[in-house]
Amino acid sequence: MNTPNDPRTPRTPGDIEGDRRRKMARLRDELGIEPYGGRIDGLLPLAEARAKYDAAADEAHKQDATQDARPRVRVAGRVVQSRVMGNLIFLSLRDCSGDLQVAVSKKSVPPEVFKLAKQVDLSDIVTAAGPLGSTKTGEITVWSQGAPGGDAGLTLACKSLAPPPEKFHGLTDPEQRYRKRYVDLYANPDVMRTMQLRIRIIDEIRDYLRGRGFLEVETPMLQSLHGGAAARPFITHHNALDMPLYLRIAPELYLKRLLVGGFNKVFEINRNFRNEGLSPRHNPEFTMLEAYEAFGSWETVADLVEDLVCTVAMKVFGTLEINHRDAEDAEKITRTINLKRPWRRVSMVDLVREELGWSFNKKRASAQDVQTILSAIQTRSFRKIGLRLKESNPSLAGKLLQAGSVEAYRREKDKVLAFIRAELTHLEQEFNRLQNDGRLEDKAELERLDRQINTLTTLMNDFHRLIDESGAKREADVFLYKFTHMSPAEQLVEVYEKLIEPTLIDPTFVTHVPSAVIPLARENRDDPFFADVYELAINGVEISPGYSELNDPDVQERHLRHQVGDREEQQEIDGDFLEALKVGMPPAGGFGLGIDRLVMMLTGATSIRDVILFPLMRPQG
């Protein structure tokens, strides 16, 4: 049992903050140091400073200390590691460009500077100045050194009062990472790199579109009517005008008004808001690119999107083969997405026929087809179990995946559950052992084990639910009731979204989507049941829709008055937009591109929260 004086006894955040406040008071009183700094000019990013290292000048100085042609730099960063070695103190600094070591030697700085270096805590922000050299191990280092009338060699820019993330492993709990992104960014360099890649991807998108004559515009985020997409809106109230307003769910109707006004090519990278649930691929507030070109079509914007994504991938990553890596083992590739052109274009009807054998004929699915679809949905749910077992028990997983039927999974239920329970027991024993040891360096391993335990527990609960025949029958009955009451168009889309879309890993333009579910797109002239559109799927999700835009005001009004789907998600009829179409909008092609999902695909992120700086979170407490 740990005692209060035992070094293994965890210290509370309050204890750490109290220590730091006392240390801050000593810095003020004893050394006259202002702990919150001030303006400093001439600072270099750490990566840029590191790049100035001159190996020849460094070697010359080591041979003759009176000769010093080493570049002198001034840097700032957050302290992520500190090592006191007698009269020499090493500080590892970090900023958004990387890490750089600073060495403070007692003989090279004034006494008060060395005292400051000894008092520096992890997470403090400091500045350092001096020549660039290297240590005996070859580590490029700023050797802190004052200059007459100038740099002190080391200064405190901001005292951190909060407890730092665990010393060697950073902030690892996903929930806390998202809540405390301000810590996550400096504690986990991979997170900073992902966010910087997002910024660069957006910059490249802007450059690409501007280079092709598109003008970037801004349209209202507060709207008196919600339209442009089928979604439940967020509602607010304007006090001065005493009127309800909606947060934008899409900018489409305003961008089309600009085509009416005479703009030929416009785009907007915008924030959209949809009052929907949270998932690894959904956030109620998200970033979308929408672009429209007069006299284009769905084919022209499909060509544009294909070229845009490939251009961005080559400029940012230098390849069209995008590898996704295992979160626990970066050397392990879990998925490769091939962006090599040309991308496949195939109708939704043909895809469904290929995968299920259902020959859609614009009528509701027959009883036999419905049973085939239901069986495919159930098998897919069980297949997920097999895939999740694949790494930990390949022989059992292989047997399940090869059988591929619901009955096969139920026959093997005892083996599956026995394996999961044995794994859980092993993980829980290891977790309890490390927790009882109470060593700080085991914290990251404890969090990893906790994640594995939660994953296996969820897996076991899912499996129990699927093999419960009475429960499965209830789920089947619910599905059958909903599915058989859908229109033929809704049935086709439901089957595609549930069974086909998640399997489309390489880019696929899915064309000829039923016009009933896309009221703003132009109907196909040869077969008005379908719209002249595409839905681009990559990495198992829709990433971009593209339309030949509907510009006939009478057909547009009819479409808006006869929408399908959830009543709360249907678009309102915007009389002013219809009036704009009566003025006349040229034929046009338009597309949307989900920025968050694009970044996920290109960086290998598994959750949309990993590519949004501040994702929506439920308040704590």
Supply 385's token pair. Answer: 């179990």
Domain closes at, from 408, 442, 472: 472
**Judgement on whether residues 560 and 519 belong to the same structural domain of the protein:** yes
Residue 201 in any domain: the answer is yes
Domain closes at, from 446, 472, 498: 472
Burial class (CB in 10 A: 0-12, 13-18, 19+), 599: buried
Amino acid identity for residue 199 in this structure = I
**Judgement on whether residues 197 and 74 belong to the same structural domain of the protein:** no
Q: How many residues does the chain have?
A: 621
**Judgement on whether residues 54 and 147 belong to the same structural domain of the protein:** yes
Per DSSP, 230 falls in state S
Question: Residue 406 has what pLDDT?
Answer: 65
Residue 305 in any domain: the answer is yes
**Judgement on whether residues 88 and 202 belong to the same structural domain of the protein:** no
Is the CA virtual torsion 413, 414, 420, 421 positive or negative? positive
Residue 1 in any domain: the answer is no
CATH number at residue 71: 2.40.50.140
**Judgement on whether residues 435 and 545 belong to the same structural domain of the protein:** no
Residue 173 in any domain: the answer is no
Looking at the predicted structure, is the pLDDT value of residue 172 above 90? Answer: no
Q: Compute CA distances 255 → 208, 286, 292, 558, 584, whole Å.
A: 19, 18, 7, 21, 14
CATH number at residue 324: 3.30.930.10
**Judgement on whether residues 516 and 381 belong to the same structural domain of the protein:** no
Residue 148 in any domain: the answer is yes
Nearest to 50 by CA among 114, 172, 133: 133
- Mean pLDDT is lowest, of 163-167, 344-348, 524-528, 535-539, for 163-167
**Judgement on whether residues 320 and 403 belong to the same structural domain of the protein:** no
Give the domain range for residue 423: 369-472
User: Cα separation of 279 and 133, whole Å?
Assistant: 49
CA–CA–CA angle 296, 300, 303 (5° rounding): 160
Question: Residue 133 has what pLDDT?
Answer: 95
CA–CA–CA angle 379, 385, 386 (5° rounding): 85
User: Cα separation of 350 and 511, whole Å?
Assistant: 10
- Mean pLDDT computed over 413-421: 79
Nearest to 219 by CA among 262, 272, 166, 167: 272
DSSP letter string, 497-525 = IIIIGGG--S-EEEEEEEGGG-TTBPBPS
**Judgement on whether residues 360 and 439 belong to the same structural domain of the protein:** no
Total structural domains in the chain?
A: 3
Looking at the predicted structure, is the pLDDT value of residue 7 above 70? Answer: no
Percent of the chain with pLDDT over 90: 67
User: Cα separation of 60 and 57, whole Å?
Assistant: 5
**Judgement on whether residues 453 and 507 belong to the same structural domain of the protein:** no
Residue 378 in any domain: the answer is yes
**Judgement on whether residues 350 and 378 belong to the same structural domain of the protein:** no
Beta strands in 150-297 (DSSP E): 154-158, 215-216, 222-223, 235-238, 243-247, 265-273, 285-294
Dihedral pair phi/psi, residue 269, rounded to 5°: -100, 110
Domain closes at, from 429, 449, 472: 472
Residue 621 in any domain: the answer is no
Higher-confidence residue of 3 and 181: namely 181
- Mean pLDDT is lowest, of 83-92, 170-179, 247-256, 463-472, for 463-472
Looking at the predicted structure, is the pLDDT value of residue 99 above 80? Answer: yes
The pLDDT tens digits for 356-390 are 899 999 999 999 999 888 888 877 776 766 666 66
Question: Residue 392 has what pLDDT?
Answer: 64
Supply 442's token pair. Answer: 């085991």
User: Cα separation of 563 and 485, whole Å?
Assistant: 15
**Judgement on whether residues 354 and 228 belong to the same structural domain of the protein:** yes
**Judgement on whether residues 199 and 70 belong to the same structural domain of the protein:** no
pLDDT band at 589 (very low <50, low <70, confident <90, very high): very high
Residue 134 in any domain: the answer is yes
pLDDT band at 149 (very low <50, low <70, confident <90, very high): low
